Chain A
Amino acid sequence: MLAAHLDPLAASIFSLITIASMLLSFVMLGSRWLKDYMYAFGIQSWLIALLSALVGYYGHYPELYLIAILTVLFRGLLLPYLVLRILRRLHVGRELHLVLQPSTSLIVGAICVIFSLVLAFRISTAIGFPENIVVLALTVMFTMKLVGFLILSIRHEAVSHILGLMLLENGIFLGSQILIPGMPILIELVVLFDLLVAVACFGVLIRYLMARVGSTSSLELKRLIG
């Protein structure tokens, strides 16, 4: 395991990047504007790309450079571009029907962080790697997943659903880069393209919603029509 024997400088850079991406996921959680989510997601993807390049450098995995470039291209540029294009065409600026106010959802997010920390301590001692960077990576991974689920469940705009999904995906990707670097390159490529397919499907779904229901809110999808 790479994380078990990192030099201190690398460990501190890794923790800085993971903490910054956790903060960005809270920016997504606390904002009302869909554009802000998108920019935060873009920056987060760039950070994760930087992280995988650094893991490749410190752990001598040359194929991770390719992954980093692909991450920047797909998650950092292409996905935000596609979603921003959807936003522009549909004229949805912000979340209209809030289940939880941004402030309340931030508090729930804080509870998620505490839960993830406890979980991360348990898991890291169970697998026998109680290093700080392992605990931190696990905490941030679980936090980003929980925040992603939170966004999926408390937001109604279909675009936010895509974002929740992508945030979840980003969390898993970030955790896997630190905890188990050197996965077969095919799996990493599959993960990247998987997300692209998901966004394309969601794009079609949103168009369909707009055409049939007249709005992009998933609140309209309550009734079952046979």
Chain B
Amino acid sequence: MLCDVLAQIAQVLAVMLLAPLIQGFILRYEERVQRSQGPSILQPYRDLWKLFHKQLVIPETSSWIFWAAPVVAFTSMLTVPLLIPVLTNYPLPLSNMGDILGGGLILTVGTFFINLAALDSGSAYGGVGSSRQVMLSILVEPTLILVFVGITLMAKSMLPFVVNHLLVANNAVFWSPTHLFLVLAFFILLLVETDKLPIHSSTHIEVYMIGEARILEYSGPLLGLLKWASMMKQFILYVIFCNVLILPWGLSIHGTVLGISGAVIALVIKLFLVGMIMVAVQTSQSRLRFYRYQEPLAASFLLAILAIIANQIR
């Protein structure tokens, strides 16, 4: 029991501490692919350290939402790792608090509060950023629900652990069209949620910003908290993509110390693989204008429908 509690704490700590590493990996290799030097892989840690030692400036027009949003966003990112298989392939204490849908809900709570905070201080860019982000979320949400429905129909369960076991045990399900379509549909959603679509700009210019424009008013430790939360969100989504959908292997089965540390190493390797895919996606596509956002999302919707259809015929 105590062992399980410690494993659960290890899951949360792994998400907290490894999230900046993956971010650093992606940022560095995006630059390396373009034949420039690139920042160090540890740069996000240094950025966070710097931000937490800076002074805090609060806009006069803001209310308590401005304070609450970073805390809520960070806390919800600390809650989701409890529900999903990060290091172990069996449910740990408190992981029965919610299923896949519950995890999705908590992930969205953070986004919702940041949207509120962006509107709160009344700056123009905050409004633009949150309206763009909400437009994307409105289109992402139905597809996400459809993907969850597809996963549920495939595994006959809403729990991520069951899906993981099914995919490890049954190769026929792993290579079935249902699963492959679900992977593709979820991959497009992953690109949208982690700002990797061609409509997202990699340079920091205010008019191009979508999600980042919401946090322009923040500074110091609160900004650090928000940046950390967004890195953790990206990390959690990649973990769900790997451990539940595409690479369900390499998790600790018994929860021993050796197994957990092996799972951490396997996790880093898996996420570096996903990071390389992200680098390839970001480098190979030219940037599009914002109003092309419907096309990848419609494709993702179609793929989710096809997955459900393929599951009916199976």
Are A and B interaction partners?
yes
* Chain A residues proximal to chain B, CB less than 8 Å: 15-16, 19, 22-23, 26, 30, 101-104, 106-107, 109-110, 113-114, 117, 132, 135-136, 139
B274 to chain A, nearest CB (A): 23
Question: Is B309 a contact of A30 with CB atoms below 8 Å?
Answer: no
Question: Is A19 a contact of B177 with CB atoms below 8 Å?
Answer: yes
- Main SS of chain B's interface residues? helix
Q: Which of B267-312 contact A (CB under 8 A)?
A: 294-295, 297-299, 301-302, 305-306, 309-310, 312
Q: List 11 A-B contacts (CB under 8 A).
A: A16-B177, A19-B306, A26-B302, A30-B298, A30-B299, A103-B297, A104-B298, A110-B305, A117-B312, A136-B313, A139-B313
Closest to A23 in B: B306
Interface contacts beyond A107-B298, A107-B302, A135-B313: sample of 18 additional A-B pairs, CB < 8 Å, sorted by A: A19-B306, A19-B310, A30-B298, A30-B302, A103-B297, A104-B294, A104-B298, A106-B295, A106-B298, A109-B302, A110-B301, A110-B305, A113-B305, A113-B306, A114-B305, A117-B313, A132-B314, A136-B313
Question: Is A106 a contact of B314 with CB atoms below 8 Å?
Answer: no
CA distance A51 to B40 in the complex (A): 51
Q: Which residues of B contact A110 (CB under 8 A)?
A: 301-302, 305-306
Question: Is A102 a contact of B295 with CB atoms below 8 Å?
Answer: yes
Per-residue CB contact flags for chain B residues 64-77 toward chain A (1 = under 8 Å, else 0) read: 00000000000000
CA distance A139 to B310 in the complex (A): 10
User: Which one of B295, B309, B310 has the greatest number of beta carbons of chain A within 10 Å?
Assistant: B309
- Main SS of chain A's interface residues? helix
Count how many pairs of residues, one from A and one from B, have CB atoms less than 8 Å apart in the complex.
Answer: 50
Question: Is A132 a contact of B313 with CB atoms below 8 Å?
Answer: yes
Q: Which residues of B contact A139 (CB under 8 A)?
A: 309, 313
B20 to chain A, nearest CB (A): 35
Q: Which residues of A contact B313 (CB under 8 A)?
A: 15, 117, 132, 135-136, 139
CA distance A196 to B297 in the complex (A): 37
Q: Which residues of B contact A114 (CB under 8 A)?
A: 305, 309
CA distance A22 to B177 in the complex (A): 12
Q: Which residues of B contact A19 (CB under 8 A)?
A: 177, 306, 310
A106-B177 contact in complex given A113-B309, A114-B309, C-beta closer than 8 Å: no
A147 to chain B, nearest CB (A): 11
CA distance A107 to B295 in the complex (A): 10
Closest to A121 in B: B312
Q: Which residues of A contact B314 (CB under 8 A)?
A: 132
Closest to B300 in A: A106
Question: Is B309 a contact of A106 with CB atoms below 8 Å?
Answer: no
Question: Is A103 a contact of B298 with CB atoms below 8 Å?
Answer: yes
A101-B177 contact in complex given A26-B302, A110-B301, A113-B306, C-beta closer than 8 Å: no
B193 to chain A, nearest CB (A): 18
Question: Is B177 a contact of A15 with CB atoms below 8 Å?
Answer: yes
Question: Is A106 a contact of B312 with CB atoms below 8 Å?
Answer: no
B143 to chain A, nearest CB (A): 11
A27 to chain B, nearest CB (A): 10
Question: Is A101 a contact of B294 with CB atoms below 8 Å?
Answer: yes
A62 to chain B, nearest CB (A): 30
CA distance A135 to B311 in the complex (A): 12
From B177, B294, B306, B312, contact of A103 by CB (8 A): B294
Closest to B297 in A: A103
CA distance A135 to B295 in the complex (A): 29
CA distance A19 to B184 in the complex (A): 14
From A102, A113, A135, A136, contact of B298 by CB (8 A): A102
B179 to chain A, nearest CB (A): 13
Q: Which residues of A contact B177 (CB under 8 A)?
A: 15-16, 19
A64 to chain B, nearest CB (A): 24
Q: Which residues of B contact A104 (CB under 8 A)?
A: 294, 298
Q: Which residues of A contact B312 (CB under 8 A)?
A: 117
Q: Which residues of A contact B294 (CB under 8 A)?
A: 101, 103-104
CA distance A82 to B121 in the complex (A): 61
For the complex of A and B, the 5 pairs showing the least CB-CB separation, nearest first, are: A103-B298, A103-B294, A106-B298, A110-B305, A110-B302
B294 to chain A, nearest CB (A): 4
CA distance A110 to B312 in the complex (A): 15
CA distance A50 to B313 in the complex (A): 23
